[in-house]
Amino acid sequence: MLDPLFKPITINRMEVKNRIYMPAMHMNMAGNYAVSDRLVDFYAERARGGAGMITVGYATVDERSGNPGNIGAHKDIYIPGLTRLATAIRDNGARTSVQLNHAGRYNHSMLMGGKLPVAPSAIPSRLTRETPHALEIPEIEEIILRFAQAAGRVKESGFDAVEILSGTGYLISEFLSPLTNKRDDRYGGDFEGRIRFGLEVIRAVREAVGNDFPLLVRMNGNEFMKGGTSRQELQEYAVRLEEAGVDALCINVGWHEAQVPQIVTEVPRGVFGYLARGIKERVSIPVIASHRINDPDLAREMIADGLCDMVAVGRALIADPFFPEKARNGHEGDIVHCVACAQGCFDNLFKMKAVECLCNPRAGYERSRALTRADTPLAVTVVGGGAAGMSAAVAAAERGHRVTLHESGGHLGGQLLLAGAPPGREEFLELAADLKRQLELSGATVILNSNVDARFLKDTRPDAVIIATGGRPITPPIPGADLPHVLQAWDVLTGDVTTGRRVVVIGGGAVGIETALLLAEKGTLSGDALKFLLVHGAESVEELYGLATRGSKDVTVIEMLGELGTNFGKSTRWGMMQDVERYGVKSRAMARVIGITADCVRIECNGQVEEIAADSVVLAVGTRAHNPLEELVAAGCIPFRVAGDALHPAMVFDAIHQGFTAGREIG
């Protein structure tokens, strides 16, 4: 029986070899709108990896539709670069498309030389804090024309298709939504007026590219904006898009300012497939499901169950470009899964940086970080089996070195096992397993329960050593910190200890928040239990919500700084802080712990001393580097590198990238 994931599909007259569609994601790799070598290398690698169709972008339609980090399609001078990109993707086996978009009120005046962003109505953006210029009808007509002209350039450049972005809070969806469209002319008012702009863009693009050129639309299945366009209206909009000449629909979710998480780790895999199904049931053209589809089994199940015709695999192809080929060849166990941390992809955009990846240090550096074979293979000892050590061992082994990794404990993973312990963070456990598999594939030797010391170094005399011995939790000099009911967060996360009903967590960084949430969820309903009780009408929806968010412990977080969770990535932090409130975790910021007693924690806040009752106290005050080997290795004149927390405590992203660099630079 033919695998549904690898059955060809036809869009208009274009045949796509499989059902894996890489959606457009802003990479911030263009240079002043021009396609760069880095962008070409990035997408060529994903095409070689077996994706059926790749859409790049978004690309601009005029000077106010994006910024110089976007791909430009608003002038003819960008056609040669677009042609080079289309050729690189097509020559490596994938169909090609460009997504066109206008950011509307989501654009920043500072990125447009001080020009105001534009929108259907002058309603301030919650993202930029700017009030846009309300478009006049001649300006609307000009933008429609510019969409059509840009689509013509896409076709002229040799791409196989064009896609229009009609969602995510950008200009077309701003016209769709009553939240942002307060017009009283033909482009506003009722549903017919609000969909007019989007439909006119589609008709103009169709006329510009002709009937035989595939035209796709990426649209919201749900905006997740209270008072916005309803899900039922979006389904009707999909019907109207098909009538206007659209050949396929790619269904995404939410606006950038929506409060429902969309791409981060806590979002269950494939959870938004129901939105694609709701639209597929209304149209006859192919429908593509999106968001958190990072595993082939899930993808083929969604297709086989009729939720969609194709799957959009985006960040999962950043993490592992060869995801499709591995699945096609029966090597799914070799895939490195995206953990949905958003640290290197989405968060980098807020820093005005190009996209990178926690799981894949080569993403965006396909040429400059290529792993070439070493001229002289060396005997390399890697000490430490956490994220940095495993990453280093894989990179060194792939260069042809004889690598042996020594781990002092009985299993690999290090702090990835801590990161994956809290609810909704299980993807980090998957990453630990994926890195372990990459070690096996690389040919590196792994020895567990092995301590590397001076005698070992003298006896084995390796050619090079990579020190990735990690870190240790800090015990602060607080009176009472040595009491038996005072625990380390690491031990709580690994389940090695139990806590009482009243728990005070000292430290409001990432580890403290994750530990607090793990404890706060103790005693809440599981997903399976919630579904059972809901389906059988056992309790009211309101009661079930309470049972799903109110656990059996009273948890308080104490933080010296003014805010909690400051060392989370930006995309993750806002969702985690919502959960802190949602699960009833109390917090005290700008508070200093001055003592711990048998039944309370004493804090000083605003010059006042307070006592917080506690049956258990959990320390989450940071990590110190653990590097007992550097002096020994240096004294033995053995070349070495240090990576991960052994170098300095940081995030998983840093550990994996530092490990890769250390392994790559050996020899």
CATH number at residue 468: 3.40.50.720
What CATH number is attached to the domain comprising 520? 3.50.50.60
pLDDT score of 347: 87
The residue count for the chain: 667
Mean pLDDT across the chain: 95
Residues 66 and 204 in one domain: yes
Residues 581 and 543 in one domain: yes
Most confident of 43-57, 248-262, 343-357, 596-610: 43-57
Residues 174 and 300 in one domain: yes
Residues 656 and 547 in one domain: no
At 308, the pLDDT band (50, 70, 90 cuts) reads: very high
Reply yes or no on whether the pLDDT at 321 is more than 80.
Answer: yes
DSSP string, 127-194: TT--PPEEPPHHHHHHHHHHHHHHHHHHHHTT-SEEEEEE-TTSHHHHHH-TTT----STTSSSHHHH
Q: Which of 363, 271, 378, 377 is nearest to 322 (CA)?
A: 363
At 1, the pLDDT band (50, 70, 90 cuts) reads: low
At 429, the pLDDT band (50, 70, 90 cuts) reads: very high
Query: For 184-211, how does the pLDDT look when each residue is reduced to its tens digit (9 = 90+)?
Result: 999 999 999 999 999 999 999 999 999 9
pLDDT score of 346: 85
Phi, psi dihedral angles at 243 (to 5 degrees): -65, -30
- Residues 353, 339: Cα–Cα separation, whole Å: 20
In this structure, the number of other CB atoms found within 10 A of the CB of residue 42 comes to 25
Residues 384 and 257 in one domain: no
Residues 468 and 479 in one domain: no
What CATH number is attached to the domain comprising 128? 3.20.20.70
Residues 202 and 324 in one domain: yes
Q: Which of 210, 154, 160 is nearest to 54 (CA)?
A: 160
Residues 387 and 315 in one domain: no
Residue 357 maps to a domain: no
Beta pairing, strands 310-312 & 287-289: parallel
Let me know: does 102 contact 59? Beta carbons within 8 Å: no
Give the DSSP H or E segment for 210: none
Question: What is the rounded average pLDDT of the residues 524-550?
Answer: 95
pLDDT score of 90: 97
- Residues 516, 513: Cα–Cα separation, whole Å: 5
Residue 491 maps to a domain: yes
Q: Which of 307, 334, 350 is at the close of a domain?
A: 350
Phi, psi dihedral angles at 318 (to 5 degrees): -70, -45
Residues 204 and 325 in one domain: yes
Distances (CA, A) of 224 to 70, 241, 255, 475, 652: 26, 21, 7, 43, 31
* Three-class secondary structure of residue 392 per DSSP: helix
Distances (CA, A) of 21 to 17, 30, 623: 10, 22, 41
Q: Per DSSP, which regions of 212-247 are E strands?
A: 215-222
At 648, the pLDDT band (50, 70, 90 cuts) reads: very high
User: Residue type for 632, please?
Assistant: L
Residue 89 maps to a domain: yes
Residue 513 maps to a domain: yes
Residues 207 and 77 in one domain: yes
Domain that holds residue 630: 379-472+624-665
Residues 92 and 227 in one domain: yes
Q: Which of 357, 324, 332, 336 is nearest to 435 (CA)?
A: 336
Residue 464 maps to a domain: yes
Residue 552 maps to a domain: yes
Let me know: does 368 contact 636? Beta carbons within 8 Å: no
Query: For 222-275, how does the pLDDT look when each residue is reduced to its tens digit (9 = 90+)?
Result: 999 999 999 999 999 999 999 999 999 999 999 998 888 888 888 999 999 999
Query: For 71-103, how does the pLDDT look when each residue is reduced to its tens digit (9 = 90+)?
Result: 999 999 999 999 999 999 999 999 999 999 999
Q: Residue 288's beta-bridge partner residues?
A: 250, 310
Residue 373 maps to a domain: no
Residues 433 and 296 in one domain: no
Query: For 156-177, how does the pLDDT look when each residue is reduced to its tens digit (9 = 90+)?
Result: 999 999 999 999 999 999 999 9
pLDDT score of 277: 98
Query: For 111-161, how does the pLDDT look when each residue is reduced to its tens digit (9 = 90+)?
Result: 888 889 999 999 999 888 999 999 999 999 999 999 999 999 999 999 999
Count of domains observed in the chain: 3
At 352, the pLDDT band (50, 70, 90 cuts) reads: confident
Q: Which of 602, 621, 640 is at the close of a domain?
A: 621
Q: Residue 162's beta-bridge partner residues?
A: 98, 215
Residue 244 maps to a domain: yes
pLDDT score of 610: 93
pTM over 0.85: yes
pLDDT score of 667: 83
